[in-house]
Amino acid sequence: MATIHLTLAPLLILAAVFLSTEITAQPAAPAPGPAAPTNITAILEKGGQFATFIHLLNTTRVGNQINIQVNSSSEGMTVFAPTDNAFQNLKPGTLNKLSYDDQVKLILYHVSPKFYTLDDLLSVSNPVRTQASGRDGAVYGLNFTSQGNQVNVSTGFVETRVSNALRKERPLAVYVVDMVLLPEEMFGENKVSPAAPGPKSNSPDVSDDQEKAGAPSDKSGCGEMKAGLGLALGLVFLCLKLVV
Ligand SMILES: *[C@@H]1O[C@H](CO)[C@@H](O)[C@H](O)[C@H]1NC(C)=O
Ligand SMILES: *[C@@H]1O[C@H](CO)[C@@H](O)[C@H](O)[C@H]1NC(C)=O
Ligand SMILES: *[C@@H]1O[C@H](CO)[C@@H](O)[C@H](O)[C@H]1NC(C)=O
Ligand SMILES: *[C@@H]1O[C@H](CO)[C@@H](O)[C@H](O)[C@H]1NC(C)=O
Ligand SMILES: *[C@@H]1O[C@H](CO)[C@@H](O)[C@H](O)[C@H]1NC(C)=O
C-alpha cells in the first residue's frame, strides 16, 4: 500500500505545480470580471493613424467621457474612429469653422451609447443613436446598411465603409472609418440650426466632475490569484499527507 502512495506522490506534486502555474498565469489573459479600465486614447494610439481624432477627443473632453461612461453603463459603447487621412480629406477649414460646441457635437456623433459587434451592425435597426442624439434620439442618428459582410455607415450627408475593428470586446467596440462622419444636421442642406458660437468657444467648457471620475482604479485579478494559490497549496498538503 505504502509503495503505491509513494509512487503517486511525485505525480500529485507535479500536478499541483502544474495547476498552480496554470491558475496564476490566468490574470494575464483578458479574463472577464473586474476589467482593467478602458482607455480610448491608448486603443487609438496603438492604431497609429488617429492623431487628429485623439487630439479632438482630448480638446472636447469626449475621450474622458467615453472612458468613464463605458465603465459605468451596462450597454457598453461603440466608437467610429476616422483616420488622419479622413480628416485631411475634409474641405480646408471644415473643423475650424465649427464653434467649440459644434466640435463637441461632431465628436459625440462618432460615439454610440451601446456596444455593437460588426454582426449587430449588419442587421441593426436604423437610425442608431449617437451621443449627439437628444434624449429622444430623434436627431444625429447614423444609418447602417450592409451587403454581404460589408457594413456601411451613412450620416445622410456622407457614407463610408465600416472597416476593421481596433477593439471588439465588450464593453467597447472601436471601428475604423475612412471618412469623418459629418452629420446631416450640421452640414446638410437643411441644417437643424446654425449653432450660435459658444461664449467661450476656445476653451473646453465641460464641468469638472467629468474629469474627476477619470482616474483609473487598480483592479487586478488578485482575488483569483489568491484562490488559485490556495488551491495549489491545498493540493501540495494533500500530497504530503499521502506521502507520510
Ligand atoms: C490613457 O492613455 C494615454 C496614452 O497612452 C495616457 O496618456 C493617459 O494618461 C491614459 N489615461 C488614463 C485615464 O489612464
Ligand atoms: C489635452 O488637452 C489639454 C487642454 O484641454 C491640454 O493641456 C493637453 O496638452 C492635451 N493633451 C494632449 C495629449 O493633447
Ligand atoms: C436613415 O434612414 C431613414 C429611413 O430610410 C431616413 O429617414 C433618415 O433620414 C436616414 N438618416 C440618416 C442619418 O441617414
Ligand atoms: C459602401 O460605401 C462605399 C463607399 O462609399 C460604396 O462604394 C459602396 O457601394 C457602399 N456599399 C454598400 C453596400 O452600400
Ligand atoms: C468602474 O465602475 C466601478 C463601479 O461601477 C467603480 O467601482 C470603478 O472605480 C470604476 N473604474 C473606473 C476606472 O472608473
Give the CATH H-level superfamily of domain 40-183.
FAS1 domain (2.30.180.10)
Domain boundaries, the chain: 40-183
Strand ranges inside 92-197, DSSP E: 111-112, 143-147, 150-154, 159-169, 172-177
pLDDT exceeds 80 at position 158: yes
Atom of ligand 1 nearest to the CA of 67: 13
Query: Among 42-46, 47-51, 233-237, which stretch is predicted with the lowest mean pLDDT?
Result: 233-237
CA of 181 to the centre of ligand 5 (A): 30
Answer yes or no: pTM beyond 0.85.
Answer: no
213 lines ligand 1 (CB under 6 A): no
Distance CA 97, CA 103 (A): 9
DSSP 28: G
Q: Say what percent of the chain tops pLDDT 90.
A: 57
77 φ, ψ (degrees, to nearest 5): -150, 160
Atom of ligand 2 nearest to the CA of 61: 5
42 lines ligand 2 (CB under 6 A): no
Q: Residue 125: what residue type?
A: S
- Please state, rounded to an integer, the average pLDDT across all residues of the chain: 77
Pairing of the two strands 172-177 and 143-147 = unpaired
pLDDT reported for residue 218 = 42
**Residue, of 97 and 231, whose pLDDT is higher:** 97
CA of 42 to the centre of ligand 1 (A): 6
CA of 41 to the centre of ligand 1 (A): 6
Which residue blocks in the chain are alpha helix, DSSP H? 2-25, 40-47, 51-59, 62-72, 84-88, 100-108, 118-122, 184-187, 209-212, 222-243
pLDDT exceeds 90 at position 174: yes
Tens digits of per-residue pLDDT, 105-140? 999 999 999 999 999 999 999 999 999 998 877 899
Tens digits of per-residue pLDDT, 61-100? 999 999 999 989 899 999 999 999 999 999 999 999 999 9
216 lines ligand 5 (CB under 6 A): yes
pLDDT reported for residue 105 = 97
Q: Say what percent of the chain tops pLDDT 70.
A: 63
pLDDT exceeds 50 at position 223: no
Distance CA 108, CA 131 (A): 5
39 lines ligand 1 (CB under 6 A): yes
CA of 56 to the centre of ligand 1 (A): 15
pLDDT reported for residue 140 = 96
> Hey, whose CA ends up nearest to atom 5 of ligand 4?
160
